A and B are shown apart, each in its own frame.
Chain A
Amino acid sequence: MSFWNDPLKAAADWLLGVFTGWGMPELAANLLIGFLGVLILVTILMVLDIGLVWVERKVVARFQDRIGPNRLGPFGLIQPFADIIKLMIKEDTTPAGADKVVYNLAPMLSMMSVLILWAIVPLAPTILGVDLNIGALYIIAAGAIGTLSIIMAGWSSNNKFALIGAFRQVAVMISFEVPMLATLLIPTILAGSMGTAAIVANQDIWYVLLSPLGALIFLLAAIAELGRAPFDLAEGESELVSGYNIEYSGMKFGMFYAGELLHAFTFGGFWAILFFGGYRFFGLEKVSPFLAIAVILFKAFIGYWLIMWVRYTLLRIRIDHMLAFNWKFLTPLAFTLIIVTALAHALLAGASAWLYTLGMFLSNVLVAWGALEIARSYSRKERQRVEGKPQVAEAAHH
């Protein structure tokens, strides 16, 4: 039964025995086992990705009061497979004047930057790709590679709209990385470590209760990083004819599109890991690692559902509004939140769990209320400046 308690180690030990029995040196055997494990995980992720295409299309259909794909297979479940076949057999046109190497490399780097994120996602207490102690920054590093792939895609397409779309998208992505880095500091402060496994292991109280504002800012920054509505100016189908994606067709476009959906799901997963306890659910994860995997996948789906909900409800935001919102509201708010969290954490460190939770929660509410008050007073002044002071109604004199 040790397989059910610790499947990765049991499988790895058995395979190691098999391989060294065949005469392989241990180092090569370990490498091969690692390679096989990564291959299995990535294959499962790609199948999940195909499922996400179906989920996305059904959900958008329901939000728009229609049914969505329902012809191929029961409930249209075969639809994404048909999509993949279609993308595969499409012609691979390269626009004239495009820079061939960079043009082909961009979708590969984009997909790679999403897949490498799963190295640090803790699926269960014992199932983790790599236990890096710098997990929080690794997320941003993978995002940096993704940002680079977008510039490469936009520049190499030899198309004005692709270029403008790519620049705008990159400007938005790098701007929103600052509040994301700042809110990544908050689970680090609370857990005392940057590693994702340690953050989950320290979440006896879910961090969303200790820092709800941090969770909210992280979600906003993540949606902007993903390039999804309401921040999808670069891809706006009605504005820039899908931005950096214009000249891509067939499987290369498929890589961008599927990569974006998987990226959204991955960030749903990270939101769950950083703020909602990851695979923890009141002790359920100790029963079996497979239950832990189910818990974290369920939470990731909830995060993904939230991201989809936001996408299909809100209107697109203009780019100067987006950037002003980031630099003038979110960044000062995020840094204020770090200061308040650090102070509260240091002052309340020795208190009981209830007092600690209450103190942190109240400090967050205070910061949020203060920020909203400042924003409200500023917008009131702005409105008065534009419209003139409100006329006080004349009292009836009789």
Chain B
Amino acid sequence: MTGEQIVFLVVALVTLGAGLMVVTTRNLVHAALWLVAALFGVAVTYVTLNASFLAVVQVVVYIGAIAILFIFAVMLTRKDMRDQGPQMNRNWWFGALLAVLTFGGLYFLLQGWEGMSKTAAAYPVGFDAISELGNALVSPQAYILPFEVASVLLVAALVGAVYVAFNPRDGGSRK
């Protein structure tokens, strides 16, 4: 067991545990905070994969924006912030069965892939992930079109949010 594998196992266990707590804890705001822990675990996994830019983006976007959005949404839709709902409905065994089957199916599929047990190749010397990403995002042979389309997608999300949240009764455009 190399040190890397131990680190990965610990991080994966923490992430999975936090994910489990997200769906089983009674208090909604606690669930949001456990989600933050799970997202942080994913960021640490990115670090072990040498994707440091993605790790920081994960913290900045997911924890810094999306988790806060979740917490705001929870507080917007709950009358009492310490509201505690029921944890499971009557068919929880079916959900658990489905989850186990899905996990088994995925594992069976991945068994046949030879990359499953290989360690990833190390980066060539002098490889700068961010430079390569920058090159890829703006060169016409690489990802320039998805880059521009991503901005259109973001504007679409913005327009959708405005439309959904727009209520002529309280606030909103005066024209």
Those of B65-96 within 8 Å (CB) of chain A: 65, 67-68, 71-72, 75, 81-82
Q: Are B64 and A147 in contact (CB under 8 A)?
A: yes
A124-172 residues with Cβ-Cβ distance < 8 A to B are 132-134, 137-138, 140-141, 143-145, 147-148, 151-152, 155, 163, 167, 170
Residues of A within 8 A of B59 (CB): 141, 144-145
A174 CA to B75 CA, complexed, in Å: 17
Bound complex: CA A194 to CA B68 (Å): 26
Q: Please state if B67 and A148 are interface contacts (CB–CB under 8 Å).
A: yes
Q: Are A140 and B52 in contact (CB under 8 A)?
A: no
- State the majority secondary structure of interface residues on B: helix
Q: Most A CB atoms within 10 A — which of B57, B59, B63, B72?
A: B59
Q: Which residue, of B27, B29, B56, B75, has the highest number of chain A Cβ atoms within 10 A?
A: B56
A141 and B52 contacting across the interface, CB-CB below 8 Å? no
* A140 / chain B contacts, CB cutoff of 8 Å: 56, 60, 64
Contact partner of A137 (CB less than 8 A), chosen from B60, B65, B72, B75, is B60
Residues of chain A at interface, number, CB under 8 A: 25
Nearest neighbor of B32 in chain A, beta-carbon distance: A151
Cβ of A177 and Cβ of B64 under 8 Å apart? yes
A81 to chain B: closest CB distance in Å?
A: 35
Q: How far is the CB of A263 from chain B (nearest CB, A)?
A: 16
Which residue on B lies nearest to A163, using beta carbons? B81
A134 and B58 CA atoms in complex are apart in Å by: 13
Please tell me if the beta carbons of B130 and A155 are within 8 angstroms of each other in the complex: no
Binary CB contact string for chain B from 37 to 60 against chain A (1 if under 8 A, 0 otherwise): 000000000000000110011011
Per the CB 8 Å criterion, the residue count for chain B at the interface is 24
**Does A1 belong to the interface (CB within 8 Å)?**
no
Q: Which of B33, B57, B65, B128 contacts A174 (CB 8 A)?
A: B65
Q: Do the beta carbons of A151 and B71 come within 8 Å of each other?
A: yes
Contact between B63 and A145, CB atoms less than 8 A apart: yes
CB neighbours (8 Å) of B31 from chain A are: none
CA distance in complex: A69, B71 (Å): 42
Flag if B33 contacts A147 (CB, 8 Å): no
A102 on interface, CB distance cutoff 8 Å? yes
* Contact of B36 with A by CB under 8 A: yes
Docked pose: A174 CA to B69 CA in angstroms: 11
Task: Tell me which of A134, A143, A145, A151 contacts B53 (CB under 8 A).
Answer: A134
Q: How far is the CB of B136 from chain A (nearest CB, A)?
A: 16
A27 to B3, CA, bound (A): 10
Judge whether A102 and B3 touch: CB under 8 Å.
Answer: no
Give the Cβ gap from A100 to chain B, nearest Cβ, in Å: 12
* Contact residues in A for B27 (Cβ distance below 8 Å): 99
User: In the complex, which residues of chain A have a beta carbon less than 8 angstroms from the beta carbon of B130?
Assistant: 133-134, 193-194
Known: A27-B3, A152-B33. A174 touches B68 (CB 8 A): yes
Chain B residues contacting A27 (CB-CB under 8 Å) are 3
Residues of the A chain whose Cβ atoms lie less than 8 Å from the Cβ of B52? 132-134
Residues of B within 8 A of A141 (CB): 56, 59-60, 63-64
Instruction: Say whether B33 contacts A102, CB under 8 Å.
Output: yes
Kindly list chain B residues whose C-beta atoms are within 8 Å of the C-beta of A99: 27, 30, 82
Closest Cβ neighbor of A152 among chain B residues = B33
Known pairs A141-B59, A141-B60, A177-B64 / 8 extra A-B pairs, C-beta < 8 Å: A102-B29, A141-B56, A144-B59, A145-B59, A147-B68, A148-B68, A174-B64, A193-B130
A-B contact pairs, 11 of them (CB 8 A): A99-B82, A102-B33, A133-B130, A137-B60, A138-B56, A140-B64, A144-B60, A145-B63, A148-B68, A163-B81, A177-B64
